[in-house]
Structure 1
Amino acid sequence: MKTDLRKTYTSANKAAWNASASLHGSGEHWNLLLEKASKPGFNLLDEHLTATLKRLDPRGKTAVQIGCNNARELLSLASLGIRPVLGIDQSGEFLAQARQLAAAADLAPRFLEADIYDLPEDVGSYDLALITIGVLNWMPDLIGFFRILADLLTPGGALVIYETHPFLEMFDPDSKTPYEPAFSYFDRRPQPVSDAISYDGKNHGKGETGYWFIHSLGEIVSAAAVSGLQIIELKECGHSIREPEYDLYENREAQVPMTYSLVAAKGQMPRTD
């Protein structure tokens, strides 16, 4: 993808996230999050991600989270003995919230506001890189993204991705026929997102227009391999980590894949047993 076109998309997504940040940094939910962060052992990671990280023998390792949002997950790594060193996000408004949470948790990672495709030279390298839900689909250039991830890892370092399953992108839970495919799994056109971005399942009106990209699971795994990373583990799950409206696809006799975790290594394979 040409640099100028890629920049068009990333700039639009930055504006969309900044415009939506105020929905997340105030009110009862935010105050509760600040209170939780101030308590010892702060950890908002679910059982699946926690188990995945523990299999990598993570204690004492340094970590970077790409697309860290308000850093609630980056800060949670400390409860597993991981050193949360760097959080990268394009939204300065969300990073302002991250600094508040870090202060409440008495932690001091570096927070870097940057386009992931244009990182500064002093960004460093880390034992663990973490990506969680809602990152990959905002990325217009998947192979370029994974090459940057590989550069962020030390030799022997591990990349952990915990994301919504691409299969779920085919469905619209708000449609009149939510169980019928509404979108093509193979549609690679940028999908405009004009609604304000929130996690609570409520309609908060219009925001700045960002762009969502559908990437198949095959493309994601291939991009990791092309970047020089060794695929260690890929697990597909039937539970949801998305907004509440997607809960209707859970706990069905004919269960669709809703989430996946991928572990890849730079060079030497980390321990996974």
Structure 2
Amino acid sequence: MAVSITSITAANKAAWNASASLHAQGTEWDSLLEQAARPGFSVLDQELTEAIRALGIEGRSAAQVGCNNARELLSLASLKILPSVGIDQSGAFLEQGRILAKAAGLEPRLIEADIYELPEDVGTFDLVLITIGVLNWMPDLDGFFRVIAGLLSPGGHLLIYETHPVMEMFDPESETPHEPAISYFRTEPLKEEGLISYDGVDHGSGETGYWFIHTLGQIVTSCAANGMAIRALKEFGYSIREPEYDVYEGREAQIPMSYLLHARKI
């Protein structure tokens, strides 16, 4: 695909901005805003919560890359970790994050930026968190992890809680959802032309974004090649993304559906 990285990230930014209004309306948004105002607010599941606690970094700083509306970043405060910085390409989602932060009584710095072109004053952190739906929007995996390494303090921790690349091979909306539909080794991005939502509902067309399939080997190798030591890699047979993918859970021949990678800056 003869398109520059800058063009791809700009297209992905437009796709997310076009979809943002879907996420700041209705009962789910009202509930999230109400929860954010309560002591101990957290949207983190048990697996991620326990992994963060095990790091033993209470009172230390954290940044989230691809923070969306900052709900997970703000949740770190419930674990006595400082939610210092959230980075996202979508200014529209960051505006939602500022509303949630105000409700939670927190003041993280929310930075609207292309991850490949961060401002020089972002700083370094004891934890960098990356969760569902970030890596696949990245056209340059090696460049991405080079930036992540630069955000980590010496000895700092990286946690990635993401969709397993094997599940990317399957299309839950096809007539044969349990047969692979996409090559694990596909290099051309998939075009995402619908509005992006988490509810499994078709909300119509939006801006075109580009979704990249990265193998687990590429992810681990790019991480290690940029000065981070792999400490643990756990794979799970459950989904942390849209509900239509739940069709792959609980099968006798279970595919991996998500993973949690822990690395530490050398």
TM-score, normalising length from structure 2?
0.99
Q: Distance in 1 between matches of 2:250 and 2:84?
A: 37
Q: Distance in 1 between matches of 2:68 and 2:199?
A: 16
C-alpha deviation, 1:34, in angstroms? 0.1
Q: Distance in 1 between matches of 2:227 and 2:155?
A: 12
Q: Distance in 2 between matches of 1:202 and 1:142?
A: 30
Question: Does residue 264 of the first structure (1) align with residue 263 of the second (2)?
Answer: yes
Q: Match of 1:179?
A: 178
C-alpha deviation, 1:255, in angstroms? 1.1
Deviations 1:80-117 (A, max 9, x none): 11100000000000000000000000000000000000
1:122 counterpart SS class:
coil
C-alpha deviation, 1:51, in angstroms? 1.0
C-alpha deviation, 1:27, in angstroms? 1.0
Q: Match of 2:65?
A: 66
Match for 2:97: what amino acid?
A
Q: Distance in 2 between matches of 1:87 and 1:178?
A: 36
Residues 116-127 of structure 1: pairs in structure 2 closer than 5 A: 116-127=115-126
Q: Match of 1:84?
A: 83
Q: Match of 1:52?
A: 51
2:116 counterpart SS class:
coil
Q: Distance in 1 between matches of 2:16 and 2:211?
A: 12
Question: Does residue 147 of the first structure (1) align with residue 140 of the second (2)?
Answer: no
Q: Match of 1:36?
A: 35
Question: Does residue 231 of the first structure (1) align with residue 212 of the second (2)?
Answer: no
2:42 counterpart SS class:
coil
C-alpha deviation, 1:41, in angstroms? 0.2
1:123 counterpart SS class:
coil
Q: List runs of 5+ in structure 1 lacking aligned partners.
A: 268-273
Q: List runs of 5+ in structure 2 lacking aligned partners.
A: none
Match for 1:118: what amino acid?
E
Q: Distance in 2 between matches of 1:161 and 1:104?
A: 27
Q: Distance in 2 between matches of 1:188 and 1:214?
A: 7
Q: Match of 2:95?
A: 96
RMSD: 1.1
Deviations 1:48-84 (A, max 9, x none): 1011111101211100000000000000000011100
In the TM superposition, structure 1's runs of 4+ consecutive aligned residues that sit over 3 Å from their partners are none
Aligned residues: 266
Match for 2:179: what amino acid?
E
Q: Distance in 2 between matches of 1:15 and 1:41?
A: 33
Match for 2:81: what amino acid?
I
C-alpha deviation, 1:190, in angstroms? 1.4
Q: Distance in 1 between matches of 2:50 and 2:171?
A: 30
Q: Match of 1:271?
A: none
Deviations 1:161-186 (A, max 9, x none): 00000000000000000000000000
State the percentage of identical aligned residues.
64
Q: Match of 1:193?
A: 192
Q: Distance in 2 between matches of 1:58 and 1:17?
A: 32
